[in-house]
Amino acid sequence: MSRKPSKVKVIPLGGMQEIGKNMTVIEYKDEIIVIDSGLSFPEDEMLGIDIVIPDISYLIKNREKIKGIFLTHGHEDHIGALPYVLKKLDVPVYGAKLTIGLVEVKLKEHRLNNVSLNAIDPGDKIKTGNFEVEFIRVNHSIPDACALAITTGAGVIFHTGDFKIDYTPIDGKMMDFHRIAELGKKGVLLMMGESTNVERAGHTLSESLVGHTLDEIFSEADSRIIVATFASNLHRVQQIINAAHKNGRKVALSGRSMLNVVNVGTNLGYLDIPKDCFIELRDVNRYPDNEVVLITTGSQGEPLAALTRMASQEHRQIEIKQGDLVVFSAHPIPGNEKLVSRVINQLFERGAEVIYESLSEIHVSGHACQEELKLMHSLVKPKFFVPVHGEYRHLKQHMDLAIRLGMNPENTLTLTNGSVLELDKDSAKLAGKVSSGNILVDGLGVGDVGNIVLRDRKHLSEDGLMVVVVTISKSTGALVSGPDIISRGFVYVRESEDLMDKAKDVVKKSLESCESRNVREWSHLKNNIKDDLRNYLYEQTKRNPMILPIIMEA
């Protein structure tokens, strides 16, 4: 009797129905491979949280099966969680040279020195036993972006990674259409396709268009130029350097991530730097304004980024002055619009001229629009399709696009983080869920801040805090001293003395009531104080501060 062929499992742990935090598990027989290991940035209600990473408890439980983490490219939403994951899992990491170079910098910052990092070239194939993973060149807003073709006993899974179709890429290295079409001709079981720009009709413009715009801006400007962009967008950085050199300007870099990425890009040969082009940031003021270009971080209005500090006059070396030309060569990530707008307003107030996307073609996306997505579907011709990398509306619209191209609606599926998709040559179906969700990173704490702590932070931020300190007799339970009340973020005590005095009376009466009923348990005393004081304060102010009673015995 022949054995039934094994099914392959596809389990997203991040990147489904959200932007960022991309991580997908593929499991076949007794082996697991992981695609990407990204982070996302906190929502507004995640007070005090630095970054968000995927819950990898499923991987920890199955650590013996994991054969490697395979990276599509070097953006934070694809590599940012690696230091935290690799502290828990000792597994090899595979990626293209620039991707691995950026990972090395990240791991050094976390003092992780014994990780097996493997740099590959697009076209390389990595065999693990039950898997063969092929890296295929695509275009994106960072060099060395790759799609992955994963060959399993059940069929080929094609993961597009983040991509766009650029017929005039800056480095001259076009997407490998030939190999993608070849895979499609042989037969692809499942395609997982990125969905970020599925709402946009037409084609994404070529990165080279930005170079022409920058050249025009630089040739017409007679002032100092400051360009803000993503540090990881080395193609954009290269074009800024080219425009500066062509127009006789020196280039200075500002921002730690900008310095790190440019250093990696230069060392690995991804940037072509003209001789004597760079100057130190501290030397900028030694040159005439019309001979200088600054490339800086802060295109998203991040509070601690270099451009934000310049705009608020908090930068140690650079001060925005009348006539400076500031160019935002990036589009605000959804949710960052207010931050970016605030920085632009501050720059105008300092006397700078500011050029941003609505005024000029100074940014193009790195993600495929509808016509490019259609071409990818037509080349790959998968049997099953799962849209990835997007909020639910993006996934739904990408699924609809696939159906309009002729795909069987029953063969297109949207997943959630933690969903288990089981596939064989003839079927694809959901088969349960695994642990998934958000792990919150706050300073050095990873996962120690949960919903209850966030709820308390929200409560404190909205209503303030009131600490009540009392001392009672150990023998009789009578009030010995106090109550003392300390208020933070609730009312200004010096202007609310009557309220504070009456609040103390409420606490005294609450304790006297407990004493008369011979209630001595601290938990009961605290609850009584909280309830009585909360009722009084709400009656007087219509506010509910957090109340913390502290009881001491004497």
Residues near 410 by beta carbon (within 8 Å), at least 6 away in sequence: none
Question: 229 by DSSP, 3-state: which?
Answer: coil
Around 548, how many Cα atoms within 13 Å sit in the side-chain half-sphere?
10
Polymer length of the chain: 554
The token pair at 314 is 């908090």
- The structure tokens 């890296």 sit at 135
Rg (CA), the chain: 29
What gap in Å lies between CA 312 and CA 207, rounded to an integer? 31
Q: Are 57 and 435 in contact (CB under 8 A)?
A: yes
| SS3 category, 59 | helix
CB 369 within 8 A of CB 398: no
Angle between helical axes of 256-267 and 97-109 (0-180°, round to 10):
140
Closest among 439, 459, 458, 460 to 450, alpha carbons compared: 439
> Is the separation of the CB atoms in 91 and 64 below 8 Å?
no
Bond preceding residue 483 cis, omega within 30 of 0: yes
Instruction: Find out whether 10 and 24 touch, Cβ atoms under 8 Å.
Output: yes
- The annotation status of 255 as a binding-site residue, yes or no, is no
With a CB cutoff of 8 Å and minimum separation 6, the contacts of 345 are none
Tokens of 407: 């795909």
DSSP calls for 162-199: S-B--SS-TTS----HHHHHHHHHH-EEEEEEE-TTTT
Q: Could you give the CA distance from residue 431 to residue 434 in angstroms, rounded to a whole number?
A: 10
Query: DSSP readout, 371-429?
Result: HHHHHHHHHH-EEEEEEESB-HHHHHHHHHHHHHTT--GGGB----TTEEEEE-SS-EE
Quote the distance between the C-alpha of residue 66 and its chain's center. 24
Q: Is 365 annotated as a binding residue?
A: yes
For residue 366, say whether it is annotated as part of any ligand binding site: yes
3-state secondary structure of 328: strand
- 3-state per-residue secondary structure call for 263-288: HHHHHCCCCCCCCCCECCHHHHHHCC
Residues 6+ positions from 491 with CB-CB distance below 8 Å:
464, 499, 541
| Cβ–Cβ under 8 Å, residues 294 and 218 | no
Binding-site residue ranges = 363-367
Binding residues for substrate are 363-367
